[in-house]
C-alpha cells in the first residue's frame, strides 16, 4: 500500500481522497482586521494548496485562520463522535523553555504551527471515514462556512453540563471505557512529565552553552595581551563561540520532536471525548430503562387497582372517587402505546450503545494505539540518535580545539 510521509509522520494512502490529491499548507501570512466586537486585531492566515497527484491544482487555494480549523474540528467531533479525531497544534506555546518565545505571532512558532496544521489535514484526509466528508472537502477547496453552519451541528453538540451530569450519574459504566479513560489519563500524565523535564533540560543546556560564549570572549580578549599564547587563545575562543552558537540549532531541532509529543498529548483529549460520548449514551439508556419500568408499574397499578407507592393520582382517587371503566380503559390504551414507544427507545439506545458505537469506537481506539506505538517509537529513537550525533559533534569540536598544536593547553 502506498504511503505518504508528512513532517516525519507516515500515513497510509488508504482512502480515495488521499490517493487522488496532495495537501499542503504552503505558507502563512500576518493580517490585520476587525473582530466580531469591532476591535482591531492582528492574526495569521494559512494558505491551503490542493493538487492532484501528478501536480495539477484542484480549484482555488483558500486562506484559512486557525479559528476556522477549530470550527472544522468541532464539526468533526460532533458528527463522528466514535472517531478519535486528530488534534490541532497548540494555539499558544506550552511546555516551552524560557528562551523560546511563547508569542503566537512569533515567526518560529507560526512556522511550527503551519506544519502542525498541515499534519492535521493529512491525518483527516487519510482517515477512511473523515476523508469522505463533504464539508471537509469544501474546507480544502472553496467557501465552506455557510455550508458547515447549515448542517446544524452546533445544535447537536452535547453541552459540557450534560456530559458532566452523565459522567457523575451513570450507574453502570462500561469497564472497557473506564479503562480507556484511565489509559488516556496515564498517557497524558506521562507525556506532560516528559515535556516538562525536556523544557527544564533545554533551559539548563542553553545556560551551559551560553556560558561558553562568555569564555570565548575572555579567551579572545586574553589573546590580545599574550604574545606566545595568542594564537592558541584565539583558537580556543573561536571554538568556544562556535560551541555556544550551536545550541540554537540543537534546541530548534528538538522542538520538532517536542511537537510530536504534544500532538499525542492533545490526542488524549480526543480519547476522553469518545469516552464522554459513550457515558452520555449509556446514561440516556439507563434513563430510558427507568422510564420504561415506571410506566410498566403504572400499568400494573391501573390494572390491579393496587398502588405500591404514594402518588398524587392515588391520593386524588381516594378523595374524589375512582375513575370510570371507560376512563381506565382509555388510560390503559394510552399507557400501553407509551410503553411500546419506550421499549422501542430502549432497544434503539441499547443497539446504539452496545453495538454500533462500541464496535466503531473500538476499531478507532485500536487504530489509534497502533499508530501511537509506531510513531512515538520512531520519534523517540530519532530523538536519541539526534542526541548521540550532537554529543559526537560537540566532542569532535572540542577535541579539535584541544588537539590544536597552537591551543593554549599545548602552549602552556
Residue that has been written with the C-alpha cell 523535564 in this structure: 197
Quick check: 283 and 245 in contact, CB under 8 A? Answer: no
pLDDT in tens, 136-150: 999 998 889 999 999
Q: Provide the 3-class DSSP secondary structure of residue 3.
A: strand
* pLDDT score for 351: 62
Across residues 310-331, what is the average pLDDT? 60
Residue 146 CB burial class (10 angstroms; 0-12, 13-18, ≥19):
exposed
Quick check: 18 and 140 in contact, CB under 8 A? Answer: no
CA 348, 354, 357, 359 dihedral sign is negative
* pLDDT score for 183: 97
pLDDT category of residue 64 using cuts at 50, 70 and 90: very high
Q: Which DSSP category does 354 fall into?
A: I
> Which cell is 406 given?
597552537
Sheet bearing 40-52, strands edge to edge? 21-34, 40-52, 63-65
> Which cell is 393 given?
559533534
In terms of average pLDDT, the best of 72-81, 106-115, 227-236, 352-361 is 72-81
Identify which of 280, 303, 284 has the alpha carbon closest to the alpha carbon of residue 292: 284
Across residues 384-395, what is the average pLDDT? 82
Torsion angle of C-alpha atoms 244, 245, 250, 252, degrees rounded to 10? 130
- Which residues pair with residue 10 across a beta bridge? 5
CA 203-207-209 angle, to 5 degrees, is 115
Quick check: 55 and 69 in contact, CB under 8 A? Answer: no
55: left (phi over 0), alpha (psi -120 to 50) or beta: left
Q: Provide the 3-class DSSP secondary structure of residue 31.
A: strand
Identify which of 62, 68, 105 has the alpha carbon closest to the alpha carbon of residue 88: 68
* pLDDT score for 4: 44
- Which residues pair with residue 25 across a beta bridge? 48
Backbone angles phi, psi at 362, to 5 degrees: -75, -30
Identify which of 60, 67, 31, 25 has the alpha carbon closest to the alpha carbon of residue 46: 25
Burial letters for 185-212: b for 16+ Cβ neighbours within 10 Å, e otherwise? eebbeebbeebeebbeebbebbeebeeb
Identify which of 169, 188, 192, 397 has the alpha carbon closest to the alpha carbon of residue 290: 169
pLDDT category of residue 16 using cuts at 50, 70 and 90: low
Quick check: 14 and 128 in contact, CB under 8 A? Answer: yes
pLDDT in tens, 86-138: 999 998 877 776 665 556 778 888 999 999 999 999 999 999 999 999 999 99
What is the full DSSP assignment across 169-237?
H-SS--HHHHHHHHHHHHHHHHHHHHHHHHHHHHHHHHHHHHHHHHHHHHHHHHHTT-SSSHHHHHHHH
State the CB neighbour count (10 A cutoff) for residue 132: 12
| pLDDT of 76 higher than 70 | yes
Average pLDDT, the chain: 81
Quick check: 275 and 185 in contact, CB under 8 A? Answer: no
Amino acid at each position: 500500500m502506498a504511503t505518504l510521509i508528512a513532517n516525519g509522520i507516515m500515513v497510509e494512502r488508504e482512502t480515495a481522497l488521499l490517493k487522488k490529491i496532495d495537501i499542503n499548507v504552503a505558507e502563512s501570512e500576518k493580517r490585520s482586521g476587525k473582530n466580531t466586537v469591532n476591535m482591531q486585531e492582528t492574526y495569521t492566515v494559512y494558505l491551503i494548496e490542493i493538487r492532484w497527484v501528478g501536480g495539477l491544482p484542484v480549484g482555488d487555494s483558500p486562506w484559512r485562520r486557525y479559528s476556522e480549523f477549530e470550527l472544522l474540528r468541532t464539526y468533526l467531533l460532533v458528527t463522528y463522535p466514535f472517531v478519535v479525531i486528530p488534534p490541532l497544534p497548540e494555539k499558544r506555546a506550552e511546555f516551552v523553555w524560557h528562551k523560546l518565545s511563547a508569542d503566537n505571532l512569533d515567526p518560529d512558532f507560526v512556522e511550527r504551527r503551519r506544519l502542525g496544521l498541515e499534519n492535521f489535514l493529512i491525518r483527516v484526509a487519510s482517515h477512511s471515514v473523515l476523508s469522505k466528508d463533504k464539508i471537509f472537502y469544501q474546507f480544502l477547496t472553496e467557501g465552506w462556512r455557510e455550508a458547515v453552519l447549515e448542517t446544524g451541528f452546533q445544535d447537536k453538540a452535547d453541552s459540557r453540563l450534560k456530559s458532566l451530569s452523565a459522567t457523575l450519574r451513570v450507574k453502570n459504566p462500561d469497564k472497557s471505557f473506564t479503562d480507556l479513560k484511565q489509559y488516556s489519563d496515564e498517557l497524558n500524565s506521562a507525556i506532560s512529565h516528559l515535556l516538562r523535564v525536556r523544557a527544564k533540560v533545554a533551559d539548563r543546556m542553553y545556560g551551559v552553552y551560553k556560558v561558553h560564549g562568555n569564555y570565548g570572549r575572555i579567551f579572545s580578549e586574553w589573546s590580545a595581551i599574550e604574545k606566545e599564547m595568542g594564537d592558541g587563545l584565539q583558537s580556543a575562543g573561536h571554538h568556544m563561540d562556535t560551541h555556544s552558537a550551536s545550541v540554537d540549532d540543537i534546541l530548534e531541532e528538538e522542538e520538532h520532536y517536542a511537537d510530536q509529543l504534544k500532538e499525542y498529548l492533545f490526542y488524549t483529549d480526543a480519547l476522553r471525548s469518545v469516552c464522554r460520548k459513550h457515558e452520555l449514551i449509556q446514561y440516556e439508556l439507563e434513563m430510558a430503562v427507568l422510564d420504561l419500568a415506571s410506566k410498566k408499574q403504572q400499568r400494573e397499578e391501573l390494572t390491579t387497582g393496587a398502588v405500591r407507592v404514594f402518588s398524587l393520582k392515588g391520593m386524588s382517587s381516594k378523595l374524589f372517587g375512582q375513575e370510570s371503566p371507560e376512563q381506565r380503559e382509555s388510560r390503559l390504551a394510552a399507557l400501553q402505546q407509551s410503553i411500546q414507544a419506550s421499549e422501542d427507545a430502549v432497544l434503539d439506545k441499547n443497539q446504539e450503545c452496545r453495538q454500533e458505537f462500541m464496535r466503531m469506537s473500538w476499531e478507532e481506539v485500536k487504530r489509534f494505539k497502533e499508530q501511537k506505538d509506531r510513531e512515538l517509537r520512531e520519534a523517540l529513537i530519532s530523538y536519541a540518535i539526534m542526541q548521540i550525533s550532537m554529543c559526537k559533534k560537540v566532542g569532535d569540536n572540542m577535541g579539535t580545539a584541544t588537539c590544536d598544536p597552537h591551543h593554549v593547553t599545548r602552549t602552556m
